[in-house]
Structure 1
């Protein structure tokens, strides 16, 4: 891992100046920390704010950038991209192409040589059409270039004192909506509020998938005993109804990354 870390530092040093696409997740936080330590004021973090990003995540990104000591801006986006309206299978490609084009424009206007993201070695194993957009735009992925796995990123983050070292994986709110279903801002807000509520109860690994008027809850299997307590079920059901869900259901398989990709022909 030390060799990979040294390789990461050399990659970033050779970039000379960089805009880090910063979500505040495990990967982008480590990338920003190493970039800041290596390049100082030749680094800036850019966080996208949009209806398809959770509000708590945007707040955390601001706080983390301050702790790291990096320059940081929020770049707003809307749902104006008509190609995303019905949540196509290649939504990640379309979204990343749009978002990273804007980040590249910002980098060019402000004299930064590169845009970098937190893609790591393990990301190649899942269905991730967004990676094609990154290649087409020549976005750098230093963690991937250094050969770092998710586990190595977590271990290194812990050694560096980053509070995100054990942060559960997260993804944009579009992944809560089935492919082919119309994206509505009020649905994204409802899902965001439902997930934030479950997190406030202490559940760490949470997804609320929207299926018509039903919210399908995914939590880690080790948290089943807690969520299945009668008073918790009644409490959750009541809050979900207040948020506009007619039904609340628990996925008996538990949380699994990329579950909405099941059945896709790749």
Structure 2
């Protein structure tokens, strides 16, 4: 099935729902979903972004910019996952508790704005990884068009190019809670620290970066080809990270891996 055909089938499915509220982060998945919904439904589609302490620096501004590109009505709401029972303890099912709470808030907004259906952008490629949040999506009856029509991450990027979205090649940006090993308590201060550390590295030209927080030890993940450049400026990086509160600064020689904190789950 062609990309254009899949896009049309998604739009047809959204039209059948009359009005939709999109869980919108401004990443490529939710941006494509928002663009398709706006094409299909116009003002009967709205995009909601949750502004929280787990949102990486700069991501809210990016979400606003892309929503303007699309033309969709965009609403920003405050939501703090740290207020959710269990979330801050950071169990293996952390994302389940986060998603449950977020959907609860989205349902209130859907009623308030007269939207029939909540939709979100989980895709088939996501399901290859540890995704406890998807269980909450299913339980709460949230619609996943990318799942229904078997759309992969790469196909979503193709759709973004077809739609001329500026985020078509944007690197994935998981929420900041994914920077902590399971069982390590998540705090607002720790979230800000990893967010600021990543923002610093991006400001110096590193595009794909994660700073994992192992109780005061920073484990930096980069694309392997960028490691020599980091080592060349290691003293200034260590200085900035220690100002942020890290005691030690390390470079992960395995490089960037999406969801690297989940690697412990597959050990025997």
- Judge same fold: TM > 0.5, yes or no: yes
In structure 2, the residue matched to 1:146 is 149
Offset, 1:131: 0.4
Residue among 120, 125, 131 paired with 2:123 = 120
In structure 2, the residue matched to 1:99 is 102
In structure 2, the residue matched to 1:132 is 135
Q: Secondary structure at the match of 2:167?
A: helix
CA distance in 1: counterparts of 2:229 and 2:163, whole angstroms: 32
In structure 2, the residue matched to 1:67 is 69
The aligned runs of 1:1-266 (5 Å cut-off) are 1-78=3-80, 79-229=82-232, 232-264=233-265
Cα deviation per residue 1:104-129 (whole Å; 9 max; x = unaligned)? Answer: 11102221000011111111100100
Structure 2, gaps ≥5 residues long? none
2:21–2:48 CA contact under 8 A, matched in 1: yes
Offset, 1:226: 2.1
1:5–1:146 CA contact under 8 A, matched in 2: no
Moved more, 152-161 or 244-253: 152-161
Q: Secondary structure at the match of 1:20?
A: strand
Q: Secondary structure at the match of 2:218?
A: strand
Q: Secondary structure at the match of 2:168?
A: helix
CA distance in 2: counterparts of 1:265 and 1:238, whole angstroms: 35
CA shift in 2, pair 1:67/1:2, >3 Å = closer
User: TM-score, normalised on structure 1?
Assistant: 0.96
Runs of 4+ in 1 over 4 A off after TM superposition: none
Offset, 1:94: 0.5
Offset, 1:159: 2.2
Moved more, 217-226 or 44-53: 217-226
Offset, 1:228: 2.3
Count of aligned pairs between the two proteins? 264
Q: Secondary structure at the match of 1:156?
A: helix
CA distance in 1: counterparts of 2:255 and 2:30, whole angstroms: 26
2:90–2:182 CA contact under 8 A, matched in 1: yes
CA distance in 1: counterparts of 2:190 and 2:4, whole angstroms: 44
Offset, 1:265: 5.9
CA distance in 1: counterparts of 2:136 and 2:35, whole angstroms: 25
Q: Secondary structure at the match of 1:6?
A: helix
Offset, 1:222: 2.5
Structure 1, gaps ≥5 residues long? none
Cα deviation per residue 1:53-74 (whole Å; 9 max; x = unaligned)? Answer: 1131111111111121111111
